[in-house]
Every structure is written in C-alpha cells, then in structure tokens.
Structure 1
Amino acid sequence: MALAVYAFLYVPLIIVVVYSFNDSQLNAEWVGFTLDWYRKLFHNDEMLRAAGNSLIIALVASAAATTLGTMAGFAMHRYKLKLLPLLVLTPIAIPEILVGVSLLIFFVMLNITLGLVSIALAHIAFCIGFVAIVVRSRLSGMDESLTEAARDCGATPWQAFRLVTLPLIMPGVVAGALMAFTLSIDDFVITFFTAGANASTLPLQIYSMIKIAVTPEVNAVSTLLMGLTLVLIIIASKLAPNAIRSS
C-alpha cells in the first residue's frame, strides 16, 4: 500500500523529468534523447523573463513573510491572544481563489497598479501564516528557562530574544523561509488574480504554454523548478540540520 502511494506521488514527477529529454514535439511516445529543449528554454526570452520575475518575487516575499511571520509566531506563543491566531492563520485556511479575488478588489480600491508589486504583496500576506505556524511550533518546544536565565543575568528583552531565543528557533525560521519561498515561486491562483496584464511569472507562463500543448519544453522548465526546490532543501538542511525534522 505504501509503495502504491509513493508511486502515485513520484512516478508522474519521474515521467516529467524523463520526457524533458525526449526528442519529439509531443509527449505521446519516447523517440530519443536530446538536450535541445533545454537549449531552447534558455533562449526563450519570455520564459527567462517570467522565471526572473518569479525569483525576485519569491525572494522578496519570503524575506518579508519570514520577518513578519516570525514576529507573529512569537507573539502568538508569548501573549496567548485569542484574536491574533485568527488574524494570522485565516489567509491560509480560506480557499486561495477567495484570497486572490479579495486581494484584487483591495488593490483596485487602493488604486494600486497590478503588477510585480501587487503579486509580491499578495504572496507576503499569504505566506505569513505558514511561517508563523512553523515558528510557533518551534517555540513550543523551546526551554523557556533559558530566556529567563538570560533576563536574570541582566539581558534586556531584545538581547534575550536576539542572543538566546532567535538562535534556538533558527531551524524553524529557516524552514519557514524555505516554505514561503516554495509557496511563492509556484503559486498560480493568487498570482493569476493579482498579476495584471503586463506581469508574468513562471506558473503563468507555463499555463499559457500548456493551453496549446504540453511540449517537452514545459517538462524542461518543470524539471529545473523541481531541481531548484531540491537544492533549497539541501541548503536548508546544511544550514539548519534539524529544520525539517524539528518543525
């Protein structure tokens, strides 16, 4: 049973990777090995522009969401306010299409031009809750006596947080940042509603391509995206070996 579940999850990914090297215009059958689709991909200006936009948005959104989400997670853990978890976690509990529509209406009301800025703001709002959950779970397993000992030794609240609490919860912060980056770079629904007419990201560009046909070029860019995700996981595991396991 377990093997069947894993096969259902990973066999489609393996097929995408394998057929990105298929020497055929279609994915109907295997013809031969080629790297031409990767060469065409790296000469596709529209795809490169969309990928660059996605990377910039993901970096900005993950940095901002990690900072705000860490503060929100710390506040939820420390102050036990009943309303705060509702405010922080609601964006991740409601359907993405509702989040996208509501943000679109909000940006129009504020006369904010839809584009990369609106996408980044939308991703920040969406990712904060995920980071807050990871950080709060990390704080729940932390020994509070260490912070109290720092305060007893004369440390200010900020010094106790910066020198004691933050290093202890850093695996959760790293895991939250990785999650926010991954959610941002592959988000489609919220991006679709907040992108406007002139902004394009990698998921939107892939969607526009598969409306015609799923060519090996789409498989190639999907393979590179999977590779980037794996590299990020490896880097995070090196920086904080217990990030995934502890959070």
Structure 2
Amino acid sequence: MRTVGRWGAVALGAMVVAHVLGAGIVDPVIDPVSFYAFVPGGGEAILLGGTVLALVGLVVVGRAYRTGLATGPLPGAAMMVFAVAMVLVGVFPTDPPGVATTLSAVVHRTSAAAAFVVLPVVGHCVARQVGAPRSAAPRRLRRATVALAVLVAAFLAVHLPLAAVGSGIVAFGLLERVGFVLMIGYLFLLADIVDRESPGPARDPSPVPATTAVSEARPVDLAA
C-alpha cells in the first residue's frame, strides 16, 4: 500500500505540474487534460503520469493474483488494457483546437475511454473473490465501482462523440479531472483490499498435546 501511495503521489504530482505549466492557457473547466500537451513540458508530464499509473495498476493486479484475490484471465487482461491505454494517452497527443481530426487524436481519445471502462471491471473481479470480509475494504470498493461506472457512463456520453469532432462542451474538462482523481483513488482502494483481505499464512489447526510439548521442551531423566 505504501508503494502504491508513493507512486500515486508521483502521478498526481505530474498532473499538478501540467496544470501549473498550463495556467492561464488551458481552461481546467472546459478544456480536456490532453490540451496540456500543447504547453512546453505539459506533454512530458502527461506521459509520466499515465506511465506511472499503468505500472501501479500492473503491480496491484499482480499482487492480487499472488494472494488469490484475482483469478482467471479477465482481471489481468482488463488491467493490461488499462496499462497500455494509459501509456498510449501520453504517446499519442490529441489535436489542437480547430485542427482536423488526426489518427493520433483518435488513438488518444479511444485509449482514454478504454482506461476508464476497464478499471471498474478489475475492481468487480477482485471484490467478488472476497468470501468472508475481514474489513470494510470490499464494501468501499464495491461502492467505488458503482460510482466509477456511473462516471464512466457520463464520460463516454460526452467523450465518444468528441472522438470525431473535438472538444468545447461545457464542464468536459472538469469531468475529466474528476475522473482522473477518482482513477487514482480507485487504484488505492484496489491496493487496500489486497492488503486487508489477502489470506494469511496457513496454520495447523490440530492442537499440540500439553504432555508432548513438555516432554519435547525438557526431557525427563528417569535414572534420577
């Protein structure tokens, strides 16, 4: 969990840097996050943030498989799609305003949509593997999964039409930024449930007889 926290802070910090670099140039309420790529240093910040989140996601799902909280190919495949999508978002920038849609912009927007869609799938797969919860983490993750799914639906309702025509819809940028923060928080919840609900080491349930324990601890000298 501490590792995820540190790297999540790096990803969030990269986006903060992009916002600082683009202050007064990019409107955080209307313009999408991808417009920071047109600010010197902004594109590198977006790529760094996306790559870090991709690595965090892979680490979390890998640990979930090791602890038995992820089974089957679905959670791994979904997280792999998320990781690749987050890197592609940084590698392929969107188009500047007023420019005809290019292939790079289509890849960028499609990748952003894919990342939002597949992340709740991973959480659902992990949460349903918890039989008898040891903590409130599964309940929090299920609630977050529903919330993120609702946000994804709202995001796609705006985002998919823009994949062809560009941006400019009121509050689209704000919706994206809220989604980005929730994405980081969701990865925190995934890491938390793996930490709290992972099965502990197996123990031998059969009790050790007291006489055996005493005799093994101190042999009795019968000749005395």
Q: State TM-score, norm by structure 1.
A: 0.29
User: Greater share of helix residues, 1 or 2?
Assistant: 1
Q: State TM-score, norm by structure 2.
A: 0.31
| Rg larger in structure | 2
Q: Which structure has the higher relative contact order (CA within 8 Å, separation 6+)?
A: 1
